[in-house]
Amino acid sequence: MALRIFETDPNAKPKATFSDDTVGRFHGGKQENGIPVALDRWRVTTGDPEVAAAVAQLMGGTPEETDSTSENFIEILTEQDKVKIVLSGPDAITSDLKLWNGSALIHHCDGVEFLSPDEDRGKPCRCPELMEDRKNAAKSKRGPSPSIAVAFRLAEDYDLGLFRLQTGSWKLAEVLHEVENALDRVGSEALAELSLELVEFTTKKGRDVSYRKPVIRVLKSWNDAIAEPTA
């Protein structure tokens, strides 16, 4: 006999998330004394010691238990800024725009229309039309930022399980349609490269800026990749 509490209130049913079936997460940064710090190598967190050991063997680094209260309390600061991954298709990537006030989601849209709450879904969100204005609004906490989730497997250890990358990168958001189009063209599981790419430039005021951005490059069909003879 199963609970039927959501039959009378379907809107109260929690939405499914990647965290239900993932074994770990990839991060391009970390918190140090409450301050976000960007990294030049992937940081992986998991709650499974066997997964942690496998990641360390593939990507370098040493698994260490942290004080985190999350389920992914084991951290591996890897030695790699890129890794080959397997994406199931365009459905492996979800994206929207969100603005949070603490733990409260106060704006949720796709850039044109609201996605939630239900009574506002489909209504114009009135976000700025120009990309630069969107970024400025997000920077000043007056508008939403990208919320991009990518679920993938490691190409070198496919059976290890699904990992997840959650990022608010505007740079990835700007080209996400290209990634999704490439996955559509493959039409099945795809081999891709996930990297933290170095960006360097000088501002108009002469200030040197450098940072890392997450990049996804779709390479080929996974079936084609595993059919290729090994050297």
Q: Which amino acid is at 79?
A: E
pLDDT band at 143 (very low <50, low <70, confident <90, very high): very high
pLDDT band at 67 (very low <50, low <70, confident <90, very high): confident
* Confidence (pLDDT) at 8: 57
Q: Which amino acid is at 111?
A: G
Crossing angle for the helix pair 170-186 and 131-139, to the nearest 10 degrees: 130
Non-local CB neighbours of 227 within 8 Å, separated by 6+ positions: none
Torsion of CA 106, 111, 173, 26, to 10 degrees: 30
* Confidence (pLDDT) at 68: 85
The structure's pTM equals 0.85
Residue with tokens 């990507």: 59
* Confidence (pLDDT) at 192: 98
Cis amide bond preceding 117, omega within 30: yes
pLDDT tens for each residue of 84-128: 999 999 999 999 999 999 999 999 999 999 999 999 999 999 999
pLDDT tens for each residue of 152-211: 999 999 999 999 999 999 999 999 999 999 999 999 999 999 999 988 888 888 888 778
- Helix then strand then coil, in percent of the chain rounded to 5, is 25, 45, 35
Residue 165 φ then ψ, to 5°: -115, 125
